[in-house]
Structure 1
Amino acid sequence: MTEVTVFGMGSFGTALANVLSQNGHKVLMWGKNDQSIKEVNENHQNTRYLSDVTLCENIKATADIKEATAFADIYLIALPTKAIREIVTQIDQIITSPKTFIHVAKGIENNTFKRVSEMIEDSISPEHNNGIGVLSGPSHAEEVVIKQPTTVAASSKSAEVSQLIQDLFMNQYLRVYTNQDLVGVELGGALKNVIAIASGVVSGMGFGDNAKAALITRGLAEISRLGEKLGADPMTFLGLGGIGDLIVTCTSTHSRNFTLGYKLGKGLTLDEALNDMNMVVEGIYTTKSVHDLAQIQHVDMPITNALYGVLFEDQPVDKSLEYLMGRDKKAE
């Protein structure tokens, strides 16, 4: 039995807390929503994010960050990318011994263009860092929490941390592979959200499987080009952290990124589309980061550029599609 603190009480943090508990580990969740905390502690539910799901009874929740940090030596960071520096900095100011950080965030920081593991490393003192890793891949929380077969990838600079993640989470319905390419796994998880919004847009516009297949295929080409330029192994993007995550996020209504794009394709503005979504849509912020980073790195990313125009420059979706389809002829 291992103690794990889960920072973040969204859908995926909750689903993975349940996995850990079912695997025999002691779990404490930390969050800021008093209603969710009360619900987990008293009713063993988190209906704000996972309705009609009963969680393991021994999962506890708290809003006290000091209690959360003292509970365990392993932290699962299941927070939106934009919140990670703030919360991890708070953690670092409290802890007095080395901790292992495992994150499931899928984003790239605006302006710095740093991956999440780099953000965590920046935010903790070296003496408090016992290793940083990521768990990523095609894994909707709504399916994981009801034990539907799922496969994901664990990666870290440290082989021991990758193995730890595999040992913590793997069971009869959640299969975890290790992958040595931390850069590729993190970039694949982040960049696929950009393509997922675009996939939702074309579906919302009424286009079918041909258009969606084109976006997934050419989107993978974009991801691979930028990833390789940033030091990733291009083969990673043919695995769970690449094409696997891309397929599931680009084709499912469980995906908040796809759902946002679908609403945009139906003619809603970005503010209107976000109005009734109670979860962070990471792809919005990642689109800005990737657009800016691609320009700096001189990497051609036409789908990303078109989506950036829709999200940040009020470009109509039909004009963005015309841009993509009307580009100069080239070899694949």
Structure 2
Amino acid sequence: MAALEPASPAAEAAGEGEVGEEREPGLRAGWAGAVLGAALLAALVASVCLGSSDVPLGDVWSSVVRGVGGQEPVPGTRDLIVWRLRVPRALLAAVVGAGLGLVGTAVQALVRNPLADPYLLGISSGASLGAVAAIVLGAGAGGLLGLGLSTAAFLGALASFALVWFMARRGGGFSPLRLVLAGVGIGQFLSGFTHYLVLQAGDDQQTHGVLFWMMGSLGDAQWSTLTLPVAAVLLGLAALLARARALDALLMGDETAAGLGVDVVRLRRELFVVTSVLTGVLVSVSGAIGFVGLMVPHVCRMVVGGAHRRLLPVAALFGAVLLVVVDLVARTALPDQELPVGVVTALIGAPTLLYLLDRRLERG
């Protein structure tokens, strides 16, 4: 696959050591981080306050204080709605959005293609197959072989990861083309099984549940589901930041990166492991939410440039803000009906993608 390299990351990586070139993008990154942090707080508050029944900000604050203090819900109040339902859902949306922003940024560097997204490598197809198998073949709430939905999805993601790794490593290479072809091929293969299982769903309600999950949903958010994705996103951010300069070099081409002392094959292996595991964790708790990992890196590069030391934290913040807002829209856009999160991201992401493609064509 031909590398479609954005000029800005490579150009900034080349000038990484010069103070004059770093000052302005660094200042913009600081301002962007502050603005996005404030926007995230505002989005979280709005997400908890607004819904099928709006909750006043004062009641939200009281419920959160009682929840943080470990107090039991007060009868006659909205503690259950706020602390048990809306707060964990809003936080899960922020965590998943941050993770998708990180993975999208890393995958675009991994395969040197700005049109890549977190689901390009086939991991989400394995997660979807595991989740659908748990829903369709599982008996009762225990799911397939006693596995819960998230566990089955994560195991499916790991199985897909193993298959892609095996195919990408055949012949001793680990090139972007081999990774993409292996990921797309195995993803399509697993998607075929997933669609077959959907056709075997026993009733309309079961089919609706499967399709709703496959299009992305945060409706099952609980406090217990936050631990793993929070840990995965924090560890993923730390791992990617530790390789920020190597990622900058990788965007300039394998030969240039190798000349700068980067072990390209090893770096791609590490990036593939980090992005695959993080994608598997995110899909297991939210389903496949498209376009976030594609849009976020592009928008953030326009603001802070392409150097990954700045780009990764800003992409995580912007992804968090975006998905919290999208989830709020999905819950409140239609009366008495909740839209799949993936439907809203597609309605936003498709025009954004066309706009980005148009900009690239105008620049030649």
Same structural fold, with TM-score higher than 0.5 when normalized by the shorter chain? no
Structure with the larger helix share: 2
Kindly name which structure, 1 or 2, has the bigger radius of gyration based on alpha carbons.
2
Asked which structure has the greater RCO (Cα within 8 Å, sep 6+), the reply is 2
Shorter chain as denominator, the TM-score bin is: under 0.3
What TM-score, normalized by structure 1, do the two folds share?
0.23
What TM-score, normalized by structure 2, do the two folds share?
0.21
